[in-house]
Amino acid sequence: MKRMKHQKGFTMVELLATIVILGLLTTVVVVGVAKTIQSSHQEYYENQENMLRLAGMEYFSDHRSELPKEVGEENYVLLSTLVDQKYIDEIVDINEDSCVDYEGNISFLGQVYTHSAVVVVKIDSENYSYFPLLMCPAYSSDPNNSSSGSGGGSSDNPGGGTGDSGLDCGSVSFSYEESNNSIWYNHDIIIGVSNVPTSVTSYRAYDCSSNTDCVSSSRDGIPRQVVLSEEGSRYGRLTLFDRRGNTCTTANTKTYKIDKTAPTQPTVTQEEGDDSLTLVVSSSDALSGIAKWDYSYDNSSWQTYSTANSETAELTFDEEMNETIYLRTCDKAGNCSATSSLVVDVEFSLPAPSIVNPTNGNWTNTSFSLDVSTTYRGSIAYWQYSYNNSSFTTYANSATSTFTTTPYSAERNQLTYIRYCNTAGECSPSSSTMIRIDKTRPTIAFTYPGGTYVSNPMYNRITATDSNGISRILIHIYKNGSFFRQLETTDSTIVYTLDPTANYTVYVKAWDLAGNQQSQSPDNGAGWYYAGFNVTKKTATVLNNNYMVCPNDQLVPSRETCTTYPQYNTMYVSNVRVSGTTVTVNVRLHMNHTTVTWQRGQTRTLCVANSSNQCVINLKSFSIGSSGWTCTGCDPVNQDFSFDISSLSAGDYRIIVDGGTTKFRFRDSPYVLNTFRVTG
């Protein structure tokens, strides 16, 4: 039987080497597979982005009104819009998840987009560039490294970066005006631009205070300068575009401080001391701040009186003067404000005070105070008053340039004099004003008091009395209970009439020059003094007319003759007439013969007699015999007599001849001849 040979196994070194070789092979295979998968994914998304870009170009070709109007401006259309309007089918990522409504975040050219879109940028006057921004659950485009012809830097990538775009901002350089962070400029800053790639066809310039706060403008061609014109701490940068749609953004320029706004126009207040006048001037500047304060007497030759870095400054004058002074302030950028001006009147003498009298020196019925003031700039110790401009009384607690006196309350009509004195004991000239106070009410009186009056018309007078004068009388007249008329006067008396026949109530108010109104009884409760008047008028009624009186007291019609003693003399009363309150009668005395013995020298009176046979109105007096009435058949009296009956009481009246003691039978008892009756 053959013996088998002993066989040798793997050593540890050989085993480890084998494991390492297998690991390397595995790594190579895995990496290769991963690269293959990654390359496949990248190619998938690039294809999707390219289709998205083409769909966007087709959309804007159909909607040219939505294209940007200015070079450097952009617009966009959403993927969802392109899908809805059939420009492209739905795009999904490698996990089959839809990209249409997916919300992501891509920053491009200073804008933030949250949904898939195509951005179009106008790169020159004729050409546009289109940038697909694809956002999916498993993918987002990188617009700064795009293979679709839209790569380059953005406003959020100030350093630029060309990616695969072929446009590089790194070569661009700026030439600067000298800058210092503490210096403010009051003009635009112009920064030169050089080394711009020759492929650039347009650009957008940014004037920024921060990456998110910029003012931009776009231009065709190659940029030669960046202009900073906005106020504040500013820097600039550029976004460049070439004809292929590539873009990049330069680095930021240096920062400059710009302030082109002048400080506010100064406001001025005055502070007066014993021997000086101080102007307190205020102004403000929102950016660079106040640098200096200037003044001038001619608004052209300026002198600086303060360089305080504050919003207020003081300018003091300690000599007497009367000048117009102009004031301004300038900021740290060299801007100067509009000027303010005022008249500086420095006077250290004691001018006469001003007095404000609320009554203007007129009468008043209330207490009042005077407001006094002075332009004196020194220290005032007290104010004084006097009624004779000689003996002055001091007001307590009055050491101020303006002062309100204690009230004047007593009735008076005289001047008061006011002055002030300073702490050195010097007193100003006095000023004066009238103090007229009247608190006493006026009184009213009727010339004829209320009652019944027979008159046509009735005349009355109202008088108002006040020691300082009457300003107004107001009268309301009511007739038979209804308002009749109003009367008014500024005199102290007024005359009015009341016509018959009616009942009147006359109401009166009166005011004096101080505004006081009467207060006296009777008062109707509303401040009216009043009186009642009943006004009537006389009337007469004819009772007997065209009668004659015979010597035997016979009363016969005038057309007849006396039946007894026809030879005696006869009186005829005929044609009695009434007009208003006037009665007219015709009286005739007829001499039948002259042989009758008369008592010579007797006086006869033709009169109107009352019921007691007393003459109340004399019509005519005559004497019989002494002068010789010797005619037969003559009429020594034959005329009309008129008389007014307003003064007669109501009753019956007659015409009589009174007097005589002989056969002329008119002597013993006046003939009972009822001629007329008075009523009213």
Better-predicted residue by pLDDT, 309 or 38: 309
Is residue 189 predicted with pLDDT exceeding 80?
A: yes
* pLDDT tens, position by position, 17-31: 777 777 777 665 455
Residue type at position 614: Q
Q: Residue 6: phi, psi to the nearest 5?
A: -70, 130
Res 629: pLDDT? 56
The pLDDT of 340-345, averaged and rounded, is 89
The pLDDT of 429-440, averaged and rounded, is 96
Work out the pLDDT band at 161, boundaries 50, 70, 90: very low
Spatial separation of the C-alpha atoms in residues 120 and 54, rounded to whole Å? 12
Q: What are the sequence ranges of the domains in the chain?
A: 39-145, 173-258, 267-346, 354-437, 443-537, 540-679
Residues 6+ positions from 632 with CB-CB distance below 8 Å? 591, 592, 593, 594
Domains 173-258 and 354-437 share a fold: yes
Better-predicted residue by pLDDT, 565 or 140: 140
Cβ 374 vs Cβ 270: under 8 Å: no
The pLDDT of 126-142, averaged and rounded, is 88
Spatial separation of the C-alpha atoms in residues 340 and 614, rounded to whole Å? 102
Better-predicted residue by pLDDT, 653 or 593: 653
Residue type at position 489: T
Res 208: pLDDT? 94
Instruction: Provide, rounded to the nearest whole percent, the portion of the chain with pLDDT above 90.
Output: 51
Spatial separation of the C-alpha atoms in residues 294 and 339, rounded to whole Å? 10
The CATH code that applies to domain 443-537 is 2.60.40.10
Work out the pLDDT band at 111, boundaries 50, 70, 90: confident
The pLDDT of 509-533, averaged and rounded, is 96
Spatial separation of the C-alpha atoms in residues 388 and 414, rounded to whole Å? 9
Cβ 38 vs Cβ 77: under 8 Å: no
Instruction: Look at the domain 267-346 and name its fold.
Output: Immunoglobulin-like (2.60.40)
H runs (alpha helix) in 179-261? none
Is residue 627 predicted with pLDDT exceeding 90?
A: no
Is residue 468 predicted with pLDDT exceeding 60?
A: yes
Q: Residue 57: phi, psi to the nearest 5?
A: -60, -40
If one counts every other C-beta atom within 10 angstroms of the C-beta of residue 294, the result is: 19
Structure tokens that stand for 269 in this block: 């207040």
Highest average pLDDT, of 130-144, 433-447, 581-595, comes from: 433-447
Work out the pLDDT band at 86, boundaries 50, 70, 90: very high
Q: Which of 259-273, 508-522, 536-550 is predicted with the least confidence, judged by mean pLDDT?
A: 536-550
End-to-end CA distance of the chain: 198
Work out the pLDDT band at 548, boundaries 50, 70, 90: low
Which of 71, 252, 240, 238 has the alpha carbon at shortest distance from 152?
A: 240
Work out the pLDDT band at 514, boundaries 50, 70, 90: very high
The pLDDT of 288-315, averaged and rounded, is 93
Beta bridge partners of residue 227, listed in sequence order = 190
Cβ 444 vs Cβ 464: under 8 Å: yes
Work out the pLDDT band at 553, boundaries 50, 70, 90: very low
Res 598: pLDDT? 44
Instruction: Look at the domain 173-258 and name its fold.
Output: Immunoglobulin-like (2.60.40)
The CATH code that applies to domain 540-679 is 2.60.40
Work out the pLDDT band at 196, boundaries 50, 70, 90: very high
Spatial separation of the C-alpha atoms in residues 592 and 577, rounded to whole Å? 27
Cβ 314 vs Cβ 278: under 8 Å: yes
Cβ 499 vs Cβ 457: under 8 Å: yes
Is residue 66 predicted with pLDDT exceeding 70?
A: yes
Res 550: pLDDT? 56
The pLDDT of 512-517, averaged and rounded, is 96
- Mean confidence (pLDDT) of the chain: 83
Is residue 493 predicted with pLDDT exceeding 50?
A: yes
Is residue 97 predicted with pLDDT exceeding 60?
A: yes
The pLDDT of 360-367, averaged and rounded, is 96
Is residue 245 predicted with pLDDT exceeding 90?
A: no
Is residue 167 predicted with pLDDT exceeding 60?
A: yes
Q: Which of 136-150, 169-183, 341-355, 517-531 is predicted with the least confidence, judged by mean pLDDT?
A: 136-150
Res 547: pLDDT? 58
Spatial separation of the C-alpha atoms in residues 509 and 520, rounded to whole Å? 10
The pLDDT of 236-255, averaged and rounded, is 88
* pLDDT tens, position by position, 203-235: 889 999 988 889 988 888 899 999 999 999 999
If one counts every other C-beta atom within 10 angstroms of the C-beta of residue 427, the result is: 14
Residues 6+ positions from 103 with CB-CB distance below 8 Å? 114, 115, 135
Decide: residue 281, CB within 10 A, 0-12 exposed, 13-18 middle, 19+ buried: buried
Top CATH class of 354-437 equals mainly beta
Which of 84, 81, 119, 79 has the alpha carbon at shortest distance from 102?
A: 79
Which of 526, 484, 523 has the alpha carbon at shortest distance from 503?
A: 484
Res 28: pLDDT? 54
Task: Supply the DSSP symbol for 462.
Answer: E
Highest average pLDDT, of 160-164, 276-280, 478-482, comes from: 478-482
Work out the pLDDT band at 156, boundaries 50, 70, 90: very low
Res 602: pLDDT? 62
